Chains A and B, each alone.
Chain A
C-alpha cells in the first residue's frame, strides 16, 4: 500500500503514518503499524480484518480515545493527538458519535434520557432536545420504547437507541465498533437500513469495524487490516 503522506484537503478524518504500540518498554505489541488513510464527508466505510488485527485500536485512535505512539490523526486538518485530555473530551462531545458492540446505554436512564443526555451535556435547549430526540427515536423505530430502561429492551432495540444517542449531537462522524456483533440477522438488517438512511439524510460519515459479512456488503468502502497494517482499501463501485 502506498502511504498518504500528503494532507488530503477533502478529508474529514486523516491518519498519517499512525502507529500504536502497547508495552513499548517490556513486550512491545504493535496494534497499529503505520496506517495512513483519509475519510471524506459522508463515507460509509467498514474496517475489516481478523481478531487482533488492530480495528478497534485504529477506531480508538481516530476517535481520540487513545493517543498514537507515532504519527498524526487529523480531523478537519487539526492534529487531535496534540490536544489535552480536556480538549479531546470536548472535541469528542461535539464531533464524534460512538456506537459500541455492547450498546453501553446508561442503565438507570430511559431510552429517551439516554439520547437526551448528550444534548444536555451540550446545553441544547429543552425544546431542541425534545424535537431531536423524538425525531431520532422515531427514525430508529424505538419511539414507543422511549420510557423504558435498557434492561427491558431487546439487543436490537438497545443498539438502535445507542445509534440515536450517537447521532444526538449531530456529529461529523460516527465510529461504530462491531455494532452488529450481538444482533440477530433481522436486527442487523434493520440497524444497517437505519444507519444508511442517516448517512444519506444527514451526510454523517460512518466508520464501522466489523467481522460481519452483512455490514461489508452494505459498506461503500472496505478497508482491510492485518497485523496493524492496511492490506486492502476498496471503494465499491469506484
Chain B
C-alpha cells in the first residue's frame, strides 16, 4: 500500500519528477561515459602490453631479474617438466633471449631491445605477427638474417622494408659484436614507443652470436587465462626454486596502479556528481512535502504513524533515484556498447595517444560491477536526501497543517 501510494505520488507532478530523473540520469551518464573512456584507455594499454610485450606470466632466473646479465640464462629443459605439469592450464609459451643493442643504418642509430624468438611459439604468445603491416613475419626465403622492426624505428633510422641494418651488442664474453640483419617485416602496434624499442630476430640466429649456449634462454613468457593465472603461478613458483615467476602486474607494476587509480578516479567523480545531485533531490523533496503538508497532516491525523509517513517519503525519493539511475545506466550502456564496438576516432591527438600505447581510437569500456555499484550509490544518495524532507514533516504540527 505504501509502495503503491509512493509510486503514484512520484508521478503526481510528472514534469518535476522527469526533471529530477533527467538530472540524475544525465549526471550519471556524463560521469560514467567519461569513466568508460578513461577505463577503455587503461584497459587498452594493459591489454596491448600483455598481448604484445610482457604476456600473462614470465619466468627468469633469480640473478637475471637483479642484474639482467647476458650470462644469466637458464636451460629450457629445467623448466619443461614444470610447464608440462601445468600444460592443461597454459594456453601458450615461448622462450626468448634478450639483449640491449644499438641499431644503426646509413642515416641514424637507435637503442633497441633485441629479442631472439622462436617464430611459431612467439606467434602463439604475442600478437606481433598480426601487427605486421609490411613484409612478413620471418617468412621470407632470404639467406640473410631476418629482423622484424617497428614502424617508428623504421622512421627513426630512415630505412624501409628490405633495408639492411647493423646491430651491435656485447656477447656473454663482453666482446662487441656487429651483425647485419635484413628488415623483412615491419609491425605497427598501438604504442609507438614500444615500436621504436622492440625488435625481433630468430633465436637460432641470435644465440650463436651471443654465445649463451643452445636452448638456453633469458625469459619464458606464458599466456594463461585470467581464471587459471594464480593457480599456475603458485604451481610454477613451487616447482621452480631459483627462478623468479612473475605475473603481468608484478612485471609491470604501473599497469595495476593505473587500473586501481582509474577505479578510484571513477568513484571520486561519481561521488562528486552524486553529492551535487543530493542537493537537487533534497530541494525537490522539500518542495514536495511543503506542497503536500496539509495532505500529510491529514494522513497523520487519520492515524498513519510517523514510520509509515517517513517510509512513504523515503520510497518516493528512492524511486526517483532508481528511475534516474536506470535511465542513466541504460543510456551509458547503449553508448558504451555502441562506441565500444566502433571506437571514437581521436585523430587530433593520435600521436600522443599512440605514444601512451592507446592507439588513435578510444574504446569506452565499463564493467558490470560499475553499474551495480553506481545504482547502490544512487540508492544511498536518495536515502540521505530523504532524511531532510522526512524531518521537516515530523516537525510539522498536525493541527497547524490542517488549519492552513
Judge whether B305 and A86 touch: CB under 8 Å: yes
Pick from B31-39, B48-56, B292-300 the stretch touching chain A: B292-300
Q: Say yes or no for A120: interface residue by CB 8 A criterion.
A: yes
Judge whether B294 and A104 touch: CB under 8 Å: yes
Q: Say yes or no for B241: interface residue by CB 8 A criterion.
A: no
Judge whether A90 and B301 touch: CB under 8 Å: no
Judge whether B306 and A98 touch: CB under 8 Å: no
Judge whether B9 and A108 touch: CB under 8 Å: yes
Given the complex, which residues of A lie within 8 Å of B300, measured CB to CB?
89
> How far is the CB of A75 from the nearest CB of chain B, in Å?
14
Judge whether B399 and A120 touch: CB under 8 Å: no
Q: Say yes or no for A117: interface residue by CB 8 A criterion.
A: yes
Judge whether A120 and B303 touch: CB under 8 Å: no
- Measured between alpha carbons, how far is A106 from B295 in the docked complex, in Å? 7
Given the complex, which residues of B lie within 8 Å of A85, measured CB to CB?
306
Judge whether B398 and A90 touch: CB under 8 Å: no
One of B9, B304, B398 near A121 (C-beta < 8 A): B304
B11's nearest neighbour on chain A, judged by CB, is: A108
Given the complex, which residues of B lie within 8 Å of A109, measured CB to CB?
5, 8
Contact bitstring B260-297, A, C-beta under 8 A = 1, else 0: 00000000000000000000000000000000001100
Judge whether B5 and A108 touch: CB under 8 Å: yes
- Measured between alpha carbons, how far is A104 from B301 in the docked complex, in Å? 11
> How far is the CB of B174 from the nearest CB of chain A, in Å?
89
- Measured between alpha carbons, how far is A120 from B298 in the docked complex, in Å? 16
Given known pairs A66-B399, A106-B295, the reply for A98 and B302 (CB within 8 Å) is yes
Count residues on chain A whose CB falls below 8 Å from chain B CBs. Answer: 28
Q: Say yes or no for B403: interface residue by CB 8 A criterion.
A: yes
Judge whether A56 and B403 touch: CB under 8 Å: yes
> How far is the CB of A158 from the nearest CB of chain B, in Å?
13
Q: Say yes or no for B106: interface residue by CB 8 A criterion.
A: no
Judge whether A93 and B302 touch: CB under 8 Å: yes
Q: Say yes or no for B1: interface residue by CB 8 A criterion.
A: yes
Judge whether B9 and A90 touch: CB under 8 Å: no
- Measured between alpha carbons, how far is A65 from B298 in the docked complex, in Å? 10
Contact bitstring A51-84, B, C-beta under 8 A = 1, else 0: 0000011001001011000000000000000000
Judge whether A65 and B301 touch: CB under 8 Å: yes
A73-125 at interface with B (beta carbon < 8 Å): 85-86, 89-90, 92-94, 96, 98, 100, 102, 104, 106-109, 117-118, 120-121
Judge whether A86 and B402 touch: CB under 8 Å: no
Known contacts A60-B399, A65-B301, A93-B302, then 15 further A-B pairs from the complex at CB < 8 Å, ordered by chain A residue:
A65-B398, A66-B397, A66-B399, A85-B306, A86-B305, A89-B303, A94-B303, A96-B303, A106-B5, A108-B5, A108-B12, A117-B1, A120-B1, A165-B302, A169-B303
